Structure 1
């Protein structure tokens, strides 16, 4: 892609870029890598391509390509000539960027030829001026001399080149496979931090409250299985749903002591909490033939247990139902009168012929439709799921993945649930 406008500036080394801020220059560089960057403007989203380049004076330098056709011409390992690029400075960072009359020429492509051919052979094949050829010669020599740090190239016995990845300057944490445990007592005896997979049944749900008293234990108020069948237990939703962070699952309401409220969210890149209605952390008591175990459950895992129903939907449906029940006595007489008129004036007679007062019946049916719920009642479904989960001794075991951290106590997450799924027992 040759430039139709000619050169508007000198061919410079990358080390001198800071001396040409705001100027147009020509750059002859080796491309390390390219990656797209999403940018947001007032009207629409724009995607540009950033390329990381280098030459014999500066190993790493950033160039921004705003033209899509130019970005498609760049590949990692090429030596390219960037024509009419503008040097810009943002804070302490200096970079080059395209303008309307910028262009790009690929001089050496693909990158395998950088090592398989001699320097003069590569330079002779390029139709560029003497100054550009001299710069190209220096860049190719730099790439060949620095190949061990740039692309780690090794020659095999069959004289083929194998390009390996850049050497990492960080440690990659390999995810450990969870330990398969046969019983809960085996999980409870683990002495190292790990993940464990075990099959067990759900026995009880106990909310984590700082205001729990001995009287609540005696009256069995802390056990959800004893309260879920009570029709007038208004505190059930408040005890299991609160305001908190949907990322880390930490409650941020007044029921917890202020010292227990984390100031930052370690699961957010901005360290800010994402506030919404969440499931309050609770202890899920699991049991099998060997033992029982309290496991900490936070918001996201609670959603899995409750059929992927978010706490906000449950709380909104609960508040709407409570509000409609408070308005119920006012409309009781109207509902009764509507039902009587519907019985007196049915839609059709026993012979299948339409009744004489059809229009009045249609109006009654329309008024009845107004009393039907407009939204799906997530609160009632959630209560049904709670009842099904807490049918002690009547449910099949589930397969739980649990984080084990022996350094913590039980309520702080010594055993914390990671996932729950139906076990699949294979047959031979």
Structure 2
């Protein structure tokens, strides 16, 4: 395959990416992993983007997002590829590459372990690339031979290149008694055949919130929270992640139209977590998908209100929302103000659910007034969680429902904590 467009920038090492923010560059890299980020409708699914993790002789790991379906289908973990016209962007202190409409991908070497049969000189000689690019290719190959990345690349079962079994060792002590199943990797979790609870270590990659409303191409990034944390005037972040709902079961009881696909079409009549079956209505975190990863897999976890509070440092949605409103008092930035200021109206809007809602708790609710800026603390925690490639693994406890698929809540987060040393 040859490139269909010209080069718009220099061929650079990944270690110099921060010096070219906003520019187009060319990258010759090894592909560690490739992960689709998608959501599903009852009629089918749509892949929004594909995230790939690449590396070269100057920097072992670097994130790149691909937004074209045809190009994304060409990416195979274990390949050495030339990425042309990559746009470099920075979110906070995280630099990443973006493959856009004028970008292209040229596979150079399929599966690095083919070097064992042909050798470096022959493979490099067969590539139709310039002298400078060939020199870079040799450096990447020598780096892979030295570090052995290609030979320990882990593929999911069923992948056409999955040839050998991978044996991973635990890096923590198992407790003597535990109701949950301890898994050594996300790959093991994804292969569980019985519904159960599981514990594993993983790093946070992304928070994904699929909306039911039809979004334009330019608005699709609104679904990816990491892209929005560094926009100074994104006042919709709070109202997208926080809604009116039940604090116990985490079910949204909102009347707005821009709901998430993780929400049921109709609000549940009774609360499954309450002794008296009545909803405790307040501001809650809207259900979202938390994408986590380790060396073997990249998978989404369904996160509801109580689990989200743990993830965000035990800061409730009500505290965040109240602090946010205090800072934006007098500004029309919140489409749910009328609902929250008129709790009785919520019961009326819920229709058939009104009999199940604990209205006495709602009518007694008062705004939380505090000198602490919980909204700012919450933003800092979000940014810390989503520092891709820099965050340390967390320990997750999840419930696995094998009757569901991954995008519809097969793995739901129950708890999270920092693993002990």
TM-score by length of 2: 0.46
Larger Rg: 1
TM-score by length of 1: 0.45
- Kindly indicate whether structure 1 or structure 2 has the higher relative contact order, using CA contacts under 8 Å at least 6 residues apart: 2
